[in-house]
């Protein structure tokens, strides 16, 4: 039980921070190194992968993953936090609008777009989180960032209650609050986010989650049984198998010529490969110009094995 590594997928409830969920997992599983793979706002719910042990080192590889959200936006209200729970800065009338025009406007945000993150967010500028500047009443320049909206589908338009619900698949770093505000401006009446559920991040969906209240009541063994393997989310990387000799070389940092490895699956992402010996995940490597070089080693048990 001492070497516990993997990913547990929590269904984060409203009024919990992502770090609250991490703290519960850490306390139950008894491992210090625990971290989540992407912050969900306190009022948002849904899929929150929590990495335990050495699995915390996969975080940088999940930049490739897209995330899917079900969102509700409220028309005619502009707040400081860009969501319904912030301070109302302005209320605007919502004119009669054609639903087809609304849907076309929302779909117009598909593709690579420029987005300014909310001033109430955990994004750091000059070493401080944006919300720290905002709470202190300090102005700071927030530069726009390129994001990718893979897909948007409008689920419901309720002009009587001034609400629109939609599903969006987007790149990491997308702020749905900012997207709602931008859509509202484009519609001419302003808007803020009033509900958000993350339904998917990478390979994980709501079906993979465990309720955080259930986690609280679990034994350590029960929670360990819920862990996905460390390599489970890395589906966009290729797969390489090594012999015992070459596996030992790999974990000791030696480069492996392509002729000495078996490529089981080609990589679809920047020449990254998951590396295995007898189905044991050893680490992540890059295969460049016919040479496999370790990028991160996750299992070092073969370093001193006599072969």
Q: Is 41 a catalytic residue?
A: yes
Kindly write down the DSSP assignment for every residue of 212-276, as one continuous string.
Answer: HHHHHH--HHHHHTTPBPTTTT-TTSEEEE--HHHHHHHHTT--EEGGGSEEEE--SSTTEEEEE
- Give the DSSP H or E segment for 201: strand 191-201
Query: What is the rounded distance in angstroms from the CA atom of residue 78 to the CA atom of residue 94?
Result: 12
Find all residues with CB under 8 Å of 118, minimum gap 6, and list them. Answer: 81, 82, 130, 175, 177, 178
Tokens at 214, concatenated: 């259930």
CB 73 within 8 A of CB 79: no
Distances (CA, A) of 276 to 69, 84, 281, 301: 34, 48, 5, 13
Find all residues with CB under 8 Å of 7, minimum gap 6, and list them. Answer: 37, 49, 50, 51, 52, 55, 204, 227, 228, 229, 230, 232, 233
Tokens at 31, concatenated: 């491992």
Q: What is the radius of gyration, based on Cα positions, of the chain?
A: 22
Query: What is the rounded distance in angstroms from the CA atom of residue 74 to the CA atom of residue 82?
Result: 10
Which member of 41, 70, 208, 231 is catalytic? 41
Provide the annotated active-site residues.
41
């Amino acid at each position: 039980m001492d070497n516990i590594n993997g990913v547990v997928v929590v269904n984060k409830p409203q009024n919990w921070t992502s770090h609250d969920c991490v703290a519960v997992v850490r306390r139950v599983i008894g491992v210090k190194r625990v971290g989540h793979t992407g912050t969900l706002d306190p009022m948002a719910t849904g899929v929150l992968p929590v990495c335990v042990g050495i699995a915390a080192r996969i975080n940088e590889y999940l930049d490739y993953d897209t995330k899917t959200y079900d969102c509700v936006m409220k028309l005619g209200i502009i707040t400081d936090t860009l969501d319904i729970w912030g301070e109302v800065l302005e209320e605007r009338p919502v004119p009669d609008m054609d639903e087809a025009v609304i849907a076309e406007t929302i779909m117009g945000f598909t593709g690579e777009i420029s987005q300014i993150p909310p001033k109430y967010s955990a994004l750091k500028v000059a070493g401080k989180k944006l919300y720290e500047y905002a709470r202190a009443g300090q102005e700071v320049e927030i530069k726009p960032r390129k994001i990718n909206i893979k897909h948007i589908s409008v689920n419901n338009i309720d002009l009587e209650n001034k609400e629109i619900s939609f599903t969006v698949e987007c790149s990491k770093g997308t702020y749905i609050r900012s997207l709602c505000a931008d859509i509202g401006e484009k519609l001419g009446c302003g808007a803020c986010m009033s509900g958000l559920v993350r339904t998917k991040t990478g390979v994980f969906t709501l079906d993979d989650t465990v309720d955080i209240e259930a986690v609280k009541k679990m034994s350590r063994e029960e929670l360990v049984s819920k862990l996905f393997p460390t390599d489970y989310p890395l589906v966009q990387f290729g797969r390489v198998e090594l012999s015992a000799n070459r596996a030992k070389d790999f974990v000791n940092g030696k480069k492996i010529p392509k002729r000495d490895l078996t490529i089981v699956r080609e990589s679809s992402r920047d020449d990254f490969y998951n590396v295995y010996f007898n189905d044991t995940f050893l680490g992540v490597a890059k295969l460049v110009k016919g040479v496999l070089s370790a990028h991160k080693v996750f299992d070092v048990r073969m370093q001193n094995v006599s072969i």
